[in-house]
Chain A
Amino acid sequence: MTEYEAVIGLETHIQLNTTTKIFCSCKADSWFDPPNSNICPVCSGLPGVLPVLNRVVVEKAVLLAAAMHAEIQPESCFDRKNYFYPDLPKGYQISQYDKPLARGGYLDLPLPDGSRRRVRIHKLHIEEDAGKTKNEHGRRLIDFNRCGVPLVEMVTAPDLRSADEAAQYLIRLRQLLRWLGVSEADMEKAHLRCDANVSIRPKGASYLNPKTEIKNVNSIDAVRDAIAKEIERQIREVEAGHLIETWTLEWEEDSGKLRKMRSKETEADYRYFREPDLLTLYVDNAWKNEILESLPELPLERRQRFIEQYGLPDYDADLLTGERSLSDYFEATVKAYGGDPKRVSNWMMNDVLRILNESNRTAAELKLTPEHLAEILKLLDGGTINTSTAKSLLEKSDSSGKAPSVIVAEEGLAKVSDDSAIRRVCEEVLAENPKEVQNYKGGKVTLIGWFVGQVMRKMGGKADPALTRRILEELLR
């Protein structure tokens, strides 16, 4: 029985989050706008119009290219890709064909077994988006709002080996795009689009078999499911002795099925030629360096550094580099704290993240600053407060914005470690609850926790719990 391996490449289109479209001054984002309201003569392809390139499109594309370790070309050119389609008003798309903005590049995908899969891209180029069409009763409805939105296209080499890896690539890509601030990368809103090329071959082979193309996958889960289904189908076909034909398949979300769209005949001849209405794009070293000053440490690099520098486990490092502001926050806290980074990590993963999720904020929006979080941990370490006080301080500091030490002083939250004070309250509690005392002495030793709780209640949560427990145990002997 032959063992097969899947060979998968992904073609991604990324919508950049500039304010305006690539060649005109209409808005780039019109997701909520009524149809055909965000248009102008240029993006609706009127006779006589001309494209004018948006500078920020180039800047964001350069940033992305650098983050993908691609080589930014000092000279790149635009070309016309000619074809007829109703959502393509000019009858051609302005793209880049043989002189793209960047060449080469890769993303190193961390795999669950700890290894890395280097997913290469051939090149990165910029182009304009087409509008939207939708079907209705044998007619097509066209909306030009999206015409001219700036896109970056990256096509990977067939380096991915499973549906999961493909999904992982998209997750990492989405993370990177948001990290850099070049795209919202929301697949459901078509900020990130993906077509998958899938083929199979016997394990260990190095040649490529005919591939099918899967389109219309609108979420990362859909990508995973569709690819998995297609791999299964191809294996079935091959086992049954059939050849795989280069079909284009459409994923139907509702039924979870793949449908054949059209046979992929010989590639349509787009008759590419240099766009005469635009000049060569020059990205000289001065401009490139200016742009790259804003290139941050990349998420996967930072993840690795957190593992090495802070001794964090993979899981922690992953979570803490999932989103850029969270990760900046973590590091700022570690620096302010000066103690064990794992401690900070635990508090962030358990408590801070919960607060963020509940209030739907990013770490940058917290009123609880990294310095304040560090302070809480130091107060806890020093024994000034106990754990439950520490947890409540998170909320208090975040809502008031005040420093934790200030709140402790104002509200008198310092841990009570005075033996006699605790002893007095313990005696009170035992005196008030004779039945429980009897049950305890009768063998129900778990009641100790309840007694501690009662003491804590009476003391406003400030008693040192360990000490309280020792005193109670002594009294109950």
Chain B
Amino acid sequence: MELCDLPAYELTRLLRQRKISATEILASCLARIETVDGRPGSTEPGEISDEDKQTVHAFITVTDDRARAQAMSVDQKLADGEDPGRLAGVPFTVKDIFCVQGTRTTAASRILANFVAPYTATPVARMEAEGALMLGKVNLDEFTYGSSNESSAFQPCPRNPWNPQCVPGGSSGGSVASVAAGEAALSLGTDTAGSIRQPAAFCGVVGLKPTYGRVSRYGLIAFGSSLDCPGPIARNVTDAAMMLQVIAGPDAHDSTAASVPVEDYLAQLETGVRGLRIGLSPDYFKVTYPDERGEYVQQAVPQEFEAAVRRAADLLAQMGAEIIEDVPMPNTRYGIPAYFVISRVEAASNLHRYDGVKYGHRTVEPVRDLNEMYRKSRAEGFGLQPKLRILMGMYVSAAQYSEQYYQRALRVRTLIRRDFDRVFDPNGKYRLHALLTPTTPTTAFPFGAVYGDSVLMQYADQLTVPANHAGVPGISVPGGIAADGLPIGIQFLAADYQEALLLRIARSYEKASEGESWRQVKPMVLQR
């Protein structure tokens, strides 16, 4: 097995045993990138060739110099007998929505195509401080607006390593693609409506959305400020726990980073699920969406997906967990419309600062006055998806509509939160430790299949977005392979700040299913 395919926990172990060096690890990753990634995304890509359509294109910017310097530093520390850090030698990628000092930080948008960040986001800084090697900034939907990564202004955009004719999911498409393709062991993504969990499910990797406020948002270019969560993406649960350990915790730069002590996520990881109560909800086995006439239709998730979830439930039951059926989560279906409103209001406001005055793109066209400069710079810099969100945000937050849309959506959010409060209440009827659900209602779809139809694309997030409204943590882990050869993800959800519990349950499932044949199948891109 190549070094780049090893789990992070293996890499640090071998490194500390001086069996491998950080420089060797890095070389392996760079070689993998060379082999499978193809050219990085660019704002002037020219034609997308047939060859392009066979490669992953996770990256916007490869930061190999930085990684090389970090690798040398780690190796030097080891040689000097110093502690090289808890993530020493572990290669990771960063969703290009995080500011990293001295690197191009684009948000996958023309409007920041040449922005070089003067400071580093807290989660990235914490990983680098623990000896991790930053390979580069990976691609995403523009400003994280999307569920397929197709909307990026940097093309070719990332492609699913399992089948490059399919999307990797979004918005953390580049993050999951880089990890699934063995280019990096870890990636730092963000989850606002499922943007870590959904692509993790599409690409057969582990994606964790921590509790809102568990990980600092300082340096995360904001989309939905009350929803955004930075989180780890990895190929296994232990790696995800290791990464969360490093990035979690309060930060003087973030007023919403809660002062909750960070547990030892690794300590309880292998303790199993005996006595834990895990719930299954009928509201998560179906999707409700508007059809062409705007009428609401309910549709069960495909049989394979429910089967994967139930198979997981069986395995957990065999290990001593109690499975509780028919747990009602009646407000799940309202997650998407409420999200449409809340996230757009926040996004429109968060995008106000891109005005061509002090950073980012300013039009070179001649302008009569300041207003024209604003309009042209923003029109040229923003793609259609940001424009759509800005306009919707302006509309629903206008004074005359605010009560009807925005205030109402905030109250619907309360209902969604109450669903979780009810089922996780230790004195309530269900007293669950976790919910077990499918992550998405489909496997990764082909390019162009739904892009442009914002409603259908958005409804794909129906099973993930409630956790963002409620703030609770959720994790998606690989749960099988569908008949179309693409991964199926299953999701665990738990109460506030119960990441340790979540990871423990996910680990149990991972261990119990490690012999299953579908785990032997590799992504297409790695089979060559």
Chain B residues within CB distance 8 Å of chain A: 98-99, 105, 107, 112, 115, 117-119, 121, 217-222, 225-226, 252-256, 345-346, 348-349, 351-353, 355, 357-359, 370, 374, 394, 397-399, 402, 406
Contact = CB atoms under 8 A, between A and B. Distances in A.
A80 B353 CA distance: 13
- Interface of chain B, main secondary structure: loop
A142 B254 CA distance: 27
Contacts of B346: 273, 276
A460 interface: no
Interface string A18-59: 000000000000000000000001001111111111000000
Contact of A46 (B99, B349, B394): B99
B306 to A, nearest CB: 36
A271 B399 contact: yes
A44 B353 CA distance: 10
Q: A48, A49, A92, A276 — which one has the most chain B CB atoms within 10 A of its CB? A: A48
A90 interface: yes
B355 A48 contact: no
A49 B112 CA distance: 15
Closest 5 interchain pairs by CB? Answer: A91-B352, A276-B225, A276-B226, A47-B221, A271-B397
24 contacts: A45-B353, A46-B118, A46-B359, A47-B105, A47-B222, A48-B98, A48-B99, A48-B117, A48-B219, A49-B219, A50-B217, A50-B253, A50-B255, A53-B255, A82-B348, A84-B374, A86-B355, A86-B370, A91-B353, A142-B357, A271-B345, A271-B394, A271-B397, A273-B346
Contact of A269 (B115, B218, B256, B399): B399
A349 interface: no
B252 A91 contact: no
A27 to B, nearest CB: 18
A164 B137 CA distance: 63
A279 B258 CA distance: 11
Contact of A92 (B256, B352, B370, B374): B352
B381 to A, nearest CB: 13
A408 to B, nearest CB: 60
Contacts of B355: 84, 86, 91
Contact of B255 (A41, A45, A271, A279): A279
Nearest to B119: A41
B222 A48 contact: yes
Contacts of B399: 269, 271
B124 to A, nearest CB: 11
Nearest to B407: A273
Contacts of B217: 48, 50
Nearest to B371: A84
A48 B220 contact: yes
A140 interface: yes
Given A46-B118, A47-B107, A89-B353, A271 B225 contact: no
A271 B99 contact: no
Contacts of A90: 352-353
B358 A44 contact: yes
Given A41-B119, A271-B398, A276-B226, A80 B255 contact: no
Nearest to B217: A50
Interface string A75-97: 00000101010100111100000
A51 B225 CA distance: 12
Nearest to A52: B255
Contacts of B253: 50, 52
Contacts of B394: 271
A53 B256 CA distance: 11
B358 A45 contact: yes
A358 interface: no
Given A46-B99, A47-B99, A277 B256 contact: yes
